[in-house]
Structure 1
Amino acid sequence: MTKTIVVKIGTSSLTQPETGQLALSTIATLTETLCHLRQQGNRVILVSSGAVGVGCARLGLTERPKAIALKQAVAAVGQGRLMRIYDDLFTTLQQPIAQVLLTRSDLVQRSRYLNVYNTFKELLGLGVIPVVNENDTVAVEELKFGDNDTLSALVASLVEADWLFLLTDVDRLYSADPRSVPDAKPIALVSNIKELAQLQIQTGGQGSQWGTGGMVTKISAARIAIAAGVRTVITQGRFPRNLEKILQGEPLGTHFEPQPEPTSARKRWIAYGLVPTGKLYLDQGAIAAISQAGKSLLAAGIKTLEGEFDTQDAVQLCDTNGNEIARGLVNYSSDELQKICGRHSREIPEILGYVGADTVVHRDNLVLT
């Protein structure tokens, strides 16, 4: 049966750790594997890091730049070279590819989000393999995905993929870092969100010298993908042929089981596409009402708030310790909410001088995270 497969490869798998130069044999094997999956009738998307790493190697830089302007310049140098290598390899196998560069703002605006969806749909319909990366050259810090793990999960969610493969420098997830803890236990299957939350606490650490990811970003990405009903696998990037083995049922990598009832596309856009601009801190009654009873959020349940936001902006809904419970679109600006938080809905017209919405966040615009 035809599947939609998103494959993300990180800088640590694309480059040689000692030099930062491209690992051409890995890229060639990946290309062959993806072409083979396409020939079997699958729709395939590749999310590829490496532009900054390739740019560094091209310019003779010995470490990844920290300053954003320099990093953007280096990415501009590297992206063209990276695409040329992919194009040469895929063309040899007569597989057309397309470059798709995205920024977070492409997913924030609903119309642009749908436009990106339509572009992917057309490309996949034409039998093209889109090669996706963050548009590092123009992305501003507050509107960056931060890493391609998040980007790949959002793409997988957007196109409603069947599989998301996160190719990394370890063969699977472990209970601790196997490089420093010899008896770390391998984890073959994560079957629910609660397990994910625990894993997120246990996995610290940054990515490699040349990359931005790490296990924490991969688990966050898996959380986004499984909420969209996408089966997610973390596996070793040095052996791209393992993708086909996994699809045939071999027990390789760490699998994250998708949620049986995926969240709607619009709610996924609210939860993960938008960048929240404020926080609302809720009392226990409000938390129970939204998380257990599926109710809307009322002003009476809000203790305090922070940030500046307008009507219909996305905000995080948190407990009093700052732990995020949900996200949603607000019916009031931060200025209005400062006046009415903790007050009963019937008092709102008198306080504000006009009749506003009964709810601060309506349940149709609220998603538990």
Structure 2
Amino acid sequence: MPSSQTLVVKIGTSSLTQTPSGHLALSTIASLVETLSSLRQQGHRVILVSSGAVGVGCARLGLTERPRSISMKQAVAAVGQGRLMRVYDDLFTTLGQPIAQVLLTRSDLVQRSRYVNSYRTFRQLLQLGVIPIVNENDTVAVDELKFGDNDTLSAQVASLVNADWLFLLTDVDRLYSADPRSNPDARPISLVDKVAQLAELQVEVGDRGTHWGTGGMVTKIEAARIATTAGIRTVITDGKTPPNLTRILQGEDLGTHFAPQPPLANARKRWIAHGLVPAGRLYLDEGAVKAIVQAGRSLLAAGITELEGEFQPQDAVQLCDRTGKEIARGLVNYSHNELQKIRGKRSDQIAAILGYEGAETVVHRDNLVLSLA
């Protein structure tokens, strides 16, 4: 095991809180703090993505169920976040480990300048030996710019900092072919070479989290897809036993491992692939698909058959084949209104159709990233 690796550890509400009260599971948190501090002392760079603010806020306010409205959830999160950070700070301080609170919204990663600034902030904190504790900024986030769950947030952060490992700590010890809590025939899965392989393994994935959480296994698998395509080994394992992190790093066969795929070396392309939210979809003919996938060419207007969504120049879009399967994504040079007029047309016809000179390409290959199957 290399002496210094970058580790992103996400712990869910189900692991941080007691059922059914929603109060903090202090013994688990103390064990997590001790484990992360130890890993930091061993030379690893550690980032913690922590859920629990809404659950803690609910317990603090005496609420018996998770709020549904955005405004109520944001208010409760504001109450819970301070309490959660105080507990972390008290425990980490006891071990002499400095921490920092980092609250993110999706727009921090969507805008290129803020994405770069976020990266520099994390890099500086890690160089200082600090453990950043990350959560979504529920108090100000709006639906269009929400990660939606901390599994996705942790994968985006792991991609941002080019992490070596992403650990998803949850209420089961690994991924199973079905929910082991309700299906006695569920089979454990130790290794997934590619996320697409799960369909072949006939894995049943529920879409519900716990009473207090927002996730569920489906969001963890999506997080694993994001992280592994960024070249990050991802592990789903038991959140009630944080010392397992050290054992996994030492090579023990615990949890479900998702093998990393060859990463994108270009930081800008990593941002396009993992940081942006596509605003539309472009459907391509077979010739355009072949030119992009096999020859690495740019997308021209002639290859577009249909389009969906409302977008402006430099927005991210998905490039799909006729069946709707995503083959790539990239930054578009035209708005949806302009593309409706020029789709299917040759590049030398664009000026006459639009009445002004436009870009020769719809998505230039320098701003285009192939999607992994």
Please state which band the TM-score falls in when normalised by the shorter chain.
Answer: over 0.9
Aligned match of 2:364 in 362, 365, 368? 362
State the partner residue of 1:128. Answer: 130
- CA–CA separation in structure 2 for the residues paired with 1:74 and 1:86: 19
Does 1:282 pair with 2:284? yes
Equivalent residue number for residue 170 of structure 2: 168
Aligned to 1:97: 99
1:320 equivalent among 307, 322, 339? 322
Q: Which moved more, 1:21-30 or 1:278-287?
A: 278-287
**Counterpart position of 2:75:** 73
| Aligned residues of 1:227 and 1:263 also touching (Cα < 8 A) | no
- CA offset at residue 253 of structure 1? 0.3
Distance, in Å, in 2 between the alignment partners of 1:251 and 1:260 is 23
The Cα offsets for residues 198-235 of structure 1, whole Å up to 9 and x where unpaired, read as 57984232111111111111111111111221111000
Q: CA deviation at 1:193?
A: 4.6
Determine which of 129, 132, 145 is the counterpart of 1:143. Answer: 145
Q: Is the 8 A contact 1:166 1:233 kept in 2?
A: yes
Other structure's SS at 1:132 match: strand
> Which residue number corresponds to residue 205 of structure 2?
203
> Is the 8 Å Cα contact of residues 190 and 257 (structure 2) preserved in structure 1?
yes
Contact 2:176 2:203 in 1 (8 A): no
Using structure 2 for the length normalisation, give the TM-score.
0.95
5+ long unaligned stretches in structure 2: none
User: Is the Cα–Cα contact under 8 Å of residues 156 and 274 in structure 2 kept in the other structure?
Assistant: yes
| CA offsets 1:317-364 (integer angstroms, 9 cap, x no match) | 223343333211001111110001111222222212223222111111
SS at match of 2:213: coil
Q: Which residue of 1 aligns with 2:118?
A: 116
State the secondary structure of the residue aligned to 1:255.
Answer: strand
Aligned counterpart for 1:45 among listed residues 47, 50, 67: 47
Pair 1:193–1:291, CA change in 2 (3 A): farther
Q: Distance in 2 between matches of 1:91 and 1:287?
A: 55
Q: Give the letter aligned to residue 234 of structure 2.
A: T
Q: What fraction of aligned residue pairs are identical, expressed as a percent?
A: 76
Would you say 1:194 and 2:205 are equivalent positions? no
Runs of 5+ consecutive residues of structure 1 not aligned to the other structure: none
Report the residue type matching 2:156 in the other structure. Answer: L
How far apart in 2 are the matches of 1:43 and 1:209?
A: 32
Q: Name the aligned partner's letter for residue 106 of structure 1.
A: D
TM-superposed deviation, 1:184: 1.6
Normalised by the size of structure 1, how large is the TM-score? 0.96
Residue-pair matches, total: 369
Check if 1:13 corresponds to 2:15.
yes
Structure 1 residue matching 2:196: 3-state secondary structure:
helix
Contact 2:177–2:202 under 8 Å retained in 1: no
Tell me the equivalent position of 2:217.
215
What is the 5 A alignment of 1:254-269? 254-269=256-271
Cα shift at 1:180: 2.3
* Partner SS for 2:173: coil
* Counterpart in the other structure of 1:240: 242
Once residues 261 and 100 of structure 1 are traced to their aligned partners in structure 2, the CA distance between those partners, rounded to angstroms, is 26
Q: For structure 1, which segment, 72-81 or 319-328, has the greater mean C-alpha deviation from structure 2 after superposition?
A: 319-328
CA separation in 2, counterparts of 1:17 and 1:267? 42
Deviations 1:56-83 (A, max 9, x none): 0000111101100000000000000000
Q: Residues 287 and 160 of structure 1: is their aligned pair in 2 closer, same or farther, counting only changes over 3 Å?
A: same
CA–CA distance in structure 2, aligned partners of residues 98 and 198 of structure 1: 42
